[in-house]
Amino acid sequence: MNYILIPVLAILVIMVVVSLVRGIIAFLKTTKIDLESGQGETVTEMQMMQNKAMFARIKYQFAAVVVVAVIALFASS
Question: Contact 27/57 with Cβ under 8 angstroms?
Answer: no
Question: 7-21 in b/e burial notation, b at 16+ Cβ within 10 A?
Answer: eebeebeebbeebbe
Given pLDDT bands bounded at 50, 70 and 90, which one contains residue 72? Answer: very high
**Predicted confidence (pLDDT) per residue in 32-54, tens digit:** 777 677 665 556 777 788 888 88
Average pLDDT over residues 23-30: 85
What pTM value is reported for the model? 0.77
